[in-house]
Structure 1
Amino acid sequence: MRIAEALRDGTARLAAAGIDSAVSDARILLMAALGCDRTGLLSRAAEALPDAAAARYAGFLARRAAHEPVSRILGHREFWSLDFALGPATLDPRPDSETLVEAALAACPDRPLRVLDLGTGTGCLLLAVLHDRPAAFGLGVDRSEAAAATARANARALGLADRAAFLVGDWATALDARFDLVLSNPPYIPEAEIAALDPEVRDHDPHLALSGGADGLDAYRALAAALPGLLAPGGTAVVELGIGQAADVAALFRAAGLDIAATPHDLAGIPRCLVAKKEFGPASECR
């Protein structure tokens, strides 16, 4: 079979399995099987598909047809133009979460910063901020040792290991420090809604990173209780939001004594994160 034919057949197979992104997914998986980029794929279209690559491609297609995400199949995901390894214990970073990084960078100028990432997973939020803020140092905390290990590996691969540390812990428990910036993409899906999620999410992202309890707000309650003690005076917290949660989370944070500075929207116009501040006198930015 020629490479062009393999791409056509793979696209048809994924489309028949109900994969909306069949064209792009088949192309990405074939490039991975061949070990080439898109230019290489186009230039080799008339060549025969090597047997080893054909076997790899068939395995990739079977997994994608079963609704395993491409990023899980390949073991990595691009986020903030950086490459992050994934693991079974980590959430698959989504483009929507880049809204949180944008908000954090906008709130905090490039100066020495102490950054905390609660529920760090792959470390993508913390490491994206550290990449763009070379004077910053950060700590990522996750309940999962496997997730923390993945984040450490990502920090090493990105050349950020000297400015990032990762610990295993239950949110902020046992942390006795103050931070200029606190980041979090907490679990926020109401438990009863998880069964109806797309299989790419429901069957492949860790349940611990999805379930926000009965109303989806359990993690936000924990954050609201912890943030006043974690933030330095004038510090900023930026947390991701689920759809329709902005008002409830803002109320929880205000009740904890925090000021709500903004609720930035994602590219779809949905309030995607909340920016809260711990004020001290006239302070209005991270210190």
Structure 2
Amino acid sequence: MTPREALRDAARRFAFSPTARLDAELLLAHALNITRERLLLTLDDHPVPDGFAALAARRAAHEPVAYITGTRAFWTIDLHVGPGVLVPRADSETLLDAAVDHFKGTQGPRRILDLGTGPGTLLLAALDQWPDAHGEGVDASDTALGYARRNAEALGLAARARLARGDWADGITATYDLILTNPPYVEAGAALPEEVAAYEPAAALFAGADGLDDYHRIARQLPPLLAPGGVACVEIGADQGRSAAALFLDRGLSVSIRRDLGDRDRCLVVTG
């Protein structure tokens, strides 16, 4: 089988995925230990490696591509990921877009807090964006913090990133110019794609009957954490704009809603 035939066959097997061809290309590039860009430029120069069939079988069983390759690109960085952590998604880049707009024309945030940091997704992307900033990432999962520490080291950001186990903002008394958070927001019992439901950690997905459990806590904790002129960028589900925003408005905060590239509500932009 030629590489082109292997990609076509794999993409057919991945028909459940909206990015079937991309998935196949990423897996073949991973099997060849080259970038996807290099693969596309030199596709006919390579044999199909023996390991590609096993990788394709894993994806055909709906395992996330990021778990198979062990990496995921996000914003300007590449992150190590795997079982036990939420796979970074392009929709979450909406939070960084909102933060960049908020600090436009300034030196940017100096102190950053990421609540529920997972593998360090939002914190490390923000630290890469603003080289003079320092930040803290909090997560309740030791597995997630292990990935976050590995990523901070790999990206050369460990000296500027403090990572700690915690329960949202409990015990935090400092103030921050930028607060980022992507809490669980899926309603209990909601139907999810198999690659999400069967593989990604439920604790990072589900948040009670209406998906708002963790927003109640974050909204209560947020006001004293925001420095003057600071902003919190809070990820939400596409149908939670009004319901989640109301919790922050009730705390006397100002809220606007940022939409993602799919034109869906995705981020609460919260200021004092």
Tell me the TM-score normalised to structure 1 length.
0.88
1:227 aligns with 2:226: no
CA distance in 1, matches of 2:81, 2:38: 26
Please name the residue that 1:43 is paired with: 42
Q: 1:67 aligns with which of 47, 62, 68?
A: 62
Judged with a 3 Å threshold, the aligned counterparts in structure 2 of structure 1 residues 182 and 47 are, in CA distance, closer, same or farther, namely: closer
Is residue 12 from structure 1 mapped to residue 12 from structure 2 by the alignment? yes
Q: Distance in 2 between matches of 1:126 and 1:119?
A: 10
Residue 155 (structure 2) aligns with: 158
Rounded to whole Å, the distance in 2 between the matches of 1:41 and 1:116 is 39
- Paired residue secondary structure (2:131): coil
* 1:30 corresponds to: 28
Alignment RMSD (CA, Å): 1.7
CA distance in 2, matches of 1:79, 1:72: 15
Aligned partner of 1:206 in structure 2 is 201
Instruction: Indicate the residue corresponding to 2:112 in structure 1.
Output: 115
User: Relative to structure 2, which stretch is displaced further, 59-68 or 107-116?
Assistant: 107-116
Are residues 44 and 189 of structure 1, via their aligned partners in 2, closer, same or farther at CA, if it must alter by over 3 Å? Answer: closer
| Distance across 2 between alignment mates of 1:217 and 1:112 | 28
1:45 partner SS: helix
Secondary structure of 2:183's aligned partner: coil
**CA, structure 1 residues 82+40, in 2 after alignment: closer, same or farther (shift >3 Å)?**
same
Q: Distance in 2 between matches of 1:163 and 1:76?
A: 22
AA of the residue aligned to 2:97:
E
Q: Which amino acid aligns with 1:124?
A: T
5+ unaligned residues in a row in structure 2: which ranges? none
Sort the Cα spacing of 1:199 and 1:135 in 2 relative to 1 into closer, same or farther, 3 A.
Answer: same
The amino acid that maps onto 2:23 is: D
Match of 2:260 in 1: 266
Tell me which residue corresponds to 1:283: none
Q: How many aligned positions are there?
A: 269
Q: 1:208 to 1:43 in 2, by over 3 A?
A: same
CA contact (8 A) 1:71 1:77 kept: yes
TM-score (norm 2): 0.92
| Displacement over 6 Å in runs of 4+ | none
User: Letter of the aligned partner of 2:148 in structure 1?
Assistant: A
